[in-house]
């Protein structure tokens, strides 16, 4: 009789009468029936998560650095193009002002020089806006990346 109540025959008796234990009792029996995997599985999962987190953060940092570098290169390229354009415009207006001045048109020379200066100032502002825009884009990327990782 004890074999069926507390021994190895308990399972056979439960099956014979159609007994189904509550979920909590079923989990407890499962854990007690397999103690080693129950103990080692959480340790392995936490260790794997920590290792993947360290490796993931290193690759995330590399990716973030690549994006920052790309945005910096783009900003440098825009700045270079604007400088070239400004130099071409300045040279053109200088030539016109020199020509006007040599022909005695001092007022026209002053006007052309002032116009060249205004265009250069406008190009400088445009370059600053492009730099600010790229900086904001980089900051937004960094913020999103930091939230995700």
pLDDT tens per residue across span 11-49: 888 888 888 889 999 999 899 889 999 999 999 998 888
140 — pLDDT class (breaks 50, 70, 90): confident
Q: Which two tokens stand for residue 85?
A: 């354009």
94 within 8 A of 116, measured Cβ to Cβ? yes
Q: Tell me, what's the pLDDT at 40?
A: 93
Report helix, strand or coil for 93. helix
The stretch 42-68 carries a mean pLDDT of 74
In this structure, the dihedral spanned by the alpha carbons of residues 119, 73, 63 and 58, taken in order and rounded to 10 degrees, is -120
The stretch 57-66 carries a mean pLDDT of 66
The stretch 70-81 carries a mean pLDDT of 78
The stretch 55-67 carries a mean pLDDT of 66
Q: Tell me, what's the pLDDT at 104?
A: 67
Least reliable range by pLDDT among 4-13, 14-23, 139-148 = 139-148
Domain definitions of the chain by residue range: 60-148
Task: Please give the DSSP secondary-structure letter assigned to residue 129.
Answer: H
10 within 8 A of 4, measured Cβ to Cβ? yes
Among the listed residues 135, 140, 139, 145, the one whose alpha carbon sits nearest the alpha carbon of residue 74: 135
- What's the pTM value of the predicted model, to 2 decimals? 0.36
pLDDT tens per residue across span 92-135: 777 777 776 676 677 777 777 777 778 878 887 887 887 777 77
Q: Tell me, what's the pLDDT at 27?
A: 92
Least reliable range by pLDDT among 55-59, 65-69, 93-97 = 55-59
Q: Which two tokens stand for residue 25?
A: 């009792």
Q: Which two tokens stand for residue 145?
A: 């990346």
The stretch 122-149 carries a mean pLDDT of 76
């Amino acid at each position: 009789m004890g074999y069926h109540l507390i021994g190895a025959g308990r399972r056979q008796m439960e099956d014979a009468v159609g007994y189904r234990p509550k979920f909590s009792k079923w989990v407890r029996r499962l854990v007690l029936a397999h103690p080693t995997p129950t103990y080692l599985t959480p340790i392995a999962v936490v260790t794997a998560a920590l290792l993947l987190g360290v490796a993931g953060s290193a690759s995330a940092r590399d990716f973030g650095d690549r994006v920052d570098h790309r945005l910096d290169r783009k900003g440098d390229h825009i700045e270079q193009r604007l400088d070239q354009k400004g130099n071409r415009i300045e040279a053109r207006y200088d030539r016109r002002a020199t020509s006007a001045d040599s022909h005695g048109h001092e007022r026209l020379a002053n006007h052309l020089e002032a116009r060249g200066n205004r265009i250069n100032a406008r190009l400088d502002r445009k370059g600053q806006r492009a730099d600010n825009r790229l900086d904001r884009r980089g900051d937004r990327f960094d913020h999103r990346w930091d939230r995700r990782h």
